[in-house]
Copies of this chain bind each other. A is one copy, B any other.
């Protein structure tokens, strides 16, 4: 893989290594998405699974925000639910509704029957999309691969869909702990193999999304989320790992010091000051602009972003949203976010 184009912009990699930078790198979670008219055009022509499973399309979608805004990183267009698919579960999607697993796991027997697949084979299209994208980026932005965290994937595999309280997955953990641990281990091992395949195909950084971590109290996070995040970060030694445990403000110190992560992503309920103190200034932080604030007029977005950077500091910081960009954000507002970071001095 050494024949990829040389890097002209390694700002993200520098920030992840803790090296000095002139300004923070910037990208946006879900930056290739419904707020972009060019994405909506492809969405009108191709189904969700066609978009995800056709490498050329996934690469094109990944490049859309790069071509528009020139952020410092591209995150491959895909979905965290490819892992449940690779594990043999059906995933359906009605556009605008969010994904569903029509036959979720509900018994210990079903859980124990799940085993680690040949993920690089099953999800080959993701790897192909990464290789195409890495070449197309031509070194102008760092390519990020990703996966869902085991806890979050477990939530989907047992609930079958997003939920208000995720009572079912918690009930499963409390009443069938061995089966739950088996599933989490299988998801973890599958995810490690998947991320390594992504790296082999061109991903230069990987991010692990624990979107539902915040449903867990601190003790449950320690039991059902942390060990698997930790194992993933310890196993991925090839490239920097970003852990993004949405809502788990209480675990920041532990994630910073008891895992091998290069950065921790935080959401907007955490102040920069709290996050820096909790992580004792010892790790790169990523975040945490409230995606709803992209509704503000561009000049107010710019002043808010400037203030955010001042509070986090320029070093060991990756400017980003605190969660994915919303579908109804004006393109100029997204641009204002990226520009505000690039103009920072």
Binding site for B on A (CB under 8 A): 162, 164-167, 170-171, 174-175, 214, 216-218, 220, 247-250, 268-271, 274, 290-293, 295-296, 322-323, 326, 328
Bound together, the chains give a CA A326 to CA B163 distance in angstroms of: 13
- Say how far A39's CB is from chain B's closest CB, in angstroms: 18
- Copies of this chain assembled into the complex: 2
**Residue of B with least CB distance to A292:** B170
B249 touches A295 (CB 8 A): no
Bound together, the chains give a CA A200 to CA B211 distance in angstroms of: 45
**Residue of B with least CB distance to A162:** B164
User: Which residue from B171, B220, B274, B322 sits with its C-beta under 8 Å from A250?
Assistant: B274
Bound together, the chains give a CA A247 to CA B218 distance in angstroms of: 13
User: Which residue from B167, B171, B214, B269 sits with its C-beta under 8 Å from A217?
Assistant: B269
B292 touches A165 (CB 8 A): yes
User: Which residue from B174, B269, B291 sits with its C-beta under 8 Å from A167?
Assistant: B291
Can you report 29 residue pairs joining A to B where beta carbons are below 8 Å apart? A165-B291, A165-B326, A166-B292, A167-B291, A167-B292, A167-B295, A167-B326, A167-B328, A170-B290, A170-B292, A170-B293, A171-B295, A174-B292, A174-B293, A174-B295, A174-B296, A175-B295, A175-B296, A217-B269, A217-B271, A217-B322, A218-B269, A218-B271, A248-B269, A249-B249, A249-B250, A249-B269, A250-B270, A250-B274
B323 touches A165 (CB 8 A): yes
A249 contact set on B, CB distance < 8 A: 249-250, 269
A269 touches B290 (CB 8 A): no
A174 contact set on B, CB distance < 8 A: 292-293, 295-296
B250 touches A295 (CB 8 A): no
- Say how far A26's CB is from chain B's closest CB, in angstroms: 19
A164 contact set on B, CB distance < 8 A: 162
Bound together, the chains give a CA A167 to CA B268 distance in angstroms of: 14
A269 with B247, Cβ < 8 A, contacts A164-B162, A167-B326 known: yes
A217 contact set on B, CB distance < 8 A: 268-269, 271, 290, 322
B290 touches A220 (CB 8 A): yes
**Residue of B with least CB distance to A307:** B219
A170 contact set on B, CB distance < 8 A: 290, 292-293, 295
Given contacts A167-B295, A167-B328, A171-B328, 15 further A-B contacts (CB under 8 A): A167-B291, A167-B292, A170-B292, A170-B293, A170-B295, A171-B292, A175-B295, A175-B296, A217-B271, A217-B290, A217-B322, A247-B269, A249-B269, A250-B269, A250-B271
